[in-house]
Amino acid sequence: MKTILFIGGYNSQGGKAETLRQKKGWKVYTLLPDYDKGLLQWVEAAAQILREHPVDEIHASSTGALVACLFPHKKVLYSPVIDPFHQLREPLFKKKFLGEATVIEQCNACTLIIPEDDDVLFNDITLAFCRKNHITPVISKNDDHRLTRYFGNL
């Protein structure tokens, strides 16, 4: 059985983690950060989970990618926020979060799953990141930022 750490995105309720648990039968440790309280505390929370529980992969949704990419594990990123300063269509983050955030420059052992036309992020930044890092993203056709179709078809 695969064991993963799932790091949720902004205002995540854990639906994707639960879908992976139910439909894939994986053991899932779930971290659902409150990013308004900053980013660094969630990096430490993820590090603690990884110290206490061996995992095969880290899966992260949206802003969760900012935490996941700090660790050397194999990663699967769903609609990742690559550049929290310029990628969002609407301003969303609090000053504390932005003061601790950085742009993701590279990602090793990384799979990206993105919607064909993201309704929250500008895909051009995500696609430029993929080109720079030699990643071929999995594109979910006619889907939204939450990857509703993708997760519904698992």
22-81 pLDDT, tens digit each: 999 999 999 999 998 899 999 999 999 999 999 999 999 999 999 999 999 999 999 999
Bridge partners of 60, per DSSP, are 7, 77
Collapse the DSSP code of 1 into the 3-class scheme (helix H, G, I; strand E, B; otherwise coil) and give the result. coil
What is the chain's Cα-based Rg? 14
Tell me what pLDDT residue 29 has: 98
- The Cα–Cα gap between 111 and 137 comes to 7
Tell me what pLDDT residue 124 has: 95
Contact 75, 60 (CB under 8 A): yes
CA angle centred on 72, ends 11 and 31, rounded to 5°: 25
The token pair that represents 42 in the structure block: 């969630």
Asked if residue 108 has pLDDT above 90, the reply is: no
Tell me what pLDDT residue 91 has: 83
Tell me what pLDDT residue 90 has: 84
pLDDT tens digits along 68-106: 999 999 999 999 999 999 998 888 888 999 999 999 999
Least confident of 3-17, 58-72, 89-103, 124-138: 89-103
Asked if residue 113 has pLDDT above 90, the reply is: yes
Longest dimension (CA), the chain: 40
| Residue with token string 């440790």 | 29
The enclosing domain of 130 has a CATH number of 3.40.50.1820
The token pair that represents 81 in the structure block: 């926020």
Tell me what pLDDT residue 92 has: 82
- The Cα–Cα gap between 74 and 54 comes to 12
**Which string of DSSP letters, residue by residue, matches 122-139?**
-HHHHHHHHHHTT---EE
Amino acid at 60: A
Tell me what pLDDT residue 22 has: 96
Range of the domain at 118: 3-152
Residue 99 per-residue DSSP state = H
pTM of this structure: 0.95
Tell me what pLDDT residue 20 has: 97
User: For residues 32, 112, 93 and 145, what is the CA-based torsion angle, rounded to 10 degrees?
Assistant: -90
| Residue with token string 């939204």 | 144
Looking at the structure of the chain, the number of domains it has is 1
- The Cα–Cα gap between 102 and 84 comes to 7
